[in-house]
Chain A
Amino acid sequence: MDLRYLLKRLVSFVVTILVSATLMFILTRLTPNDPIQALLGRMAATGSNIEGGAELVAMYRERFGLDQPILVQYLSYMSNLILRGDFGYSLAYFPAPVLPVIAGAIPWTLGLFLVSTIFAFVAGNLLGALATWPSTPRPLRYVIYALAPVSAIPYYILALLLLYLLAVIFPVFPIGGARTAGGDQSLGLANILDIVHHAVLPGLSIVLALLGFWVLSMRGAMALVKGESYLMYARARGLRDRRIFMRYAVRNASLPQVTALALDLGKVVSGQVLVEIIFSYPGVGYVLYNALRTADYFVIQGVVMFVIISVALATLILDLVYPLLDPRISYRDGQA
């Protein structure tokens, strides 16, 4: 792999993260309300005891470095963030730091996200391609097209529909959570099945919401590829239909789809936040929801940072993989 291309991509990845971390710093300083005051205010409202409130505020301010000049604050914020992955403390679970709160949720989110996004991408593109292929049986083509409009339904409606249908009316799947409460934490088969069982509905709502998009956009990509001379020439060479389909048509039509996937990741992540909330799935989205409810500023910051980093990372990976898929894009001039 060309070193300069790699370097360029890495630099733009790092810059994205530094810039968003800085923006986050500025935004939080711009908000008129002080998180600690707000916390104390809430404690007062709920009737908690706040003896020596003023001292407490001062102590917190010192602890969070809020009494320092803004530049010092910025530098320590950045160095804590970048060097130690330190997002500060959760206000709701004080003195628990933010990182473990988020870190515990990441595996759930990442697992659900990766499996459902990849499944939707592969299945959607394959179905979309099949729908346009002349030798596909007619009934299958109709089924595929009937499936496509499902993507017009927003994530949360779809999730609610599935929840109502398959967890309430026909209680085939649990209504929420990621595993049966009180179960053991071992990685036995029963436990894995339990986790999968819990992930089906949230996963399905993400997959169904994405599938139609991939089906329809793949249809467009295939229409372009079908006019290409290499397809005619493959036919002229008497290649087998399945080979022409997979290696000539789908292979080429999937190139713009990979680009679309990179552009779409942000949308998928935000959609997943809603799905996690609806299914009380203990992922990052659910953590965000709880943090919003309790005005847990530092956790909100951490989650937003996590989302930015993961989208940037996924884009970086796709950028690095893309030249392997399309030999015409050289690593050197592949600056998109």
Chain B
Amino acid sequence: MSAAQLHAATAVAPQAGDVLSIENLRVSYGSRFNAVPAVRNATFSVARDEVFGLVGESGSGKSTLSMAILRLLPAQAHCEADRMRLGDTDLMAAGPAALRQLRWTRLSYIPQGSMGVLNPVMRVREQFLDTIADHTQGAQRREIEGRIETVLAGVNLRPAVLDQFPHELSGGMKQRVCIALAILLEPELIIADEPTSALDVVSQRQVLETLSSARRRIGASMIMIGHDMALQAQLADRIGIMFAGRFVEIGPTRAIFEAPRHPYTQRLIGAIPSIRRRQDIGELARRGLEHADGATASAHPDLPLREVSAGHFAAIEL
């Protein structure tokens, strides 16, 4: 290991007090003999009360990374990590009972797209109540049950949705139900996988702002996956950029925007006005690859992250 790599490794390494710390997370799909890597050696951490923005083209492994943290990868996925901790809990070593208990009380999730995530034969209210019932009891249970309507109001939903079935709600309403569920038990970390993809641009911004103020109020950290660089600039404290399963750049939002170092990031930032829709990011990557000007990410597939300035890492030659 070179001196530069060693330096990088220690600097990306977790600090005490991180809500989430991950080292060399590797996920691949398929059989042992025909494994297709989806996340390669992801190393990053999320601090208390921090919003970590996660950006990357379609298929770069963002959702896979989220599911790996939740320990909910499908059976055909293979997951390894040198370290994956939520606070002081080792997520890789936790058994089913421990995982069940920490899911939602300490770690919640807003799924990408809300199609079919709610049980079609249960009213929305029941799905709130069973979430509460399986994690609380007594006075605490009553207290949280009493808060359901307030939380819903926070995402601009009328209490009437509680008595409806999922198929009676629009995609955007379902997504807002999921956001309300995610903040209900006031977890330490919320993983929001494109939490507003089903909303129009206006309500997107508004709901994201609600989510982020609710997050601030309960003091949760958040991994916010999204493609709208303008929104990320506004809400994220730090941003990580993924390309083909690995982080190509991680840094404070300001540094990423003012001094992007990796060519892929530079394209993302350069194209901000046009990156509003999720397709644009992939389009951008494709253009980058077509240009093949020697500065694209694919030309340097295996570079490790190096610290380029305080807390700012990029997978580039120094």
Q: Which residues of A are interface residues toward B (Cβ below 8 A)?
A: 228-230, 232-241, 243, 247-248, 251-252, 255, 325-328
Contact = CB atoms under 8 A, between A and B. Distances in A.
A316 B48 CA distance: 59
Given A233-B111, A239-B130, A325 B121 contact: yes
Contacts of A326: 120-121
Interface in B82-132: 96, 99-105, 108-109, 111, 115-122, 130-131
B20 interface: no
A237 B165 contact: no
Interface of B: 70, 72, 96, 99-105, 108-109, 111, 115-122, 130-131, 134-135, 165, 167, 178, 181
Contact of B102 (A238, A248, A328): A238
A239 B131 contact: yes
A247 B122 CA distance: 9
Given A235-B72, A328-B167, A230 B130 contact: no
Contact of B167 (A233, A243, A327): A327
Nearest to B118: A230
A247 B134 CA distance: 13
A224 B178 CA distance: 23
Contacts of A328: 120, 165, 167
Contacts of B178: 233
B241 to A, nearest CB: 25
Contacts of B120: 230, 252, 326-328
Contacts of A251: 119, 121
A252 B165 CA distance: 14
Interface SS, A side: helix
Nearest to B113: A229
A208 B239 CA distance: 61
Contacts of A238: 99-105, 131, 134-135
A221 to B, nearest CB: 14
Contacts of B105: 238
Contacts of B115: 229
Contact of A235 (B101, B102, B103, B135): B103
Q: Please name the 5 residue pairs, one residue from A and one from B, whose CB atoms are nearest each other, closest first.
A: A238-B103, A233-B117, A238-B104, A327-B165, A229-B116
Nearest to B101: A238
Nearest to B126: A247
A248 B108 CA distance: 19
Nearest to A232: B72
B20 to A, nearest CB: 16
Nearest to A325: B121
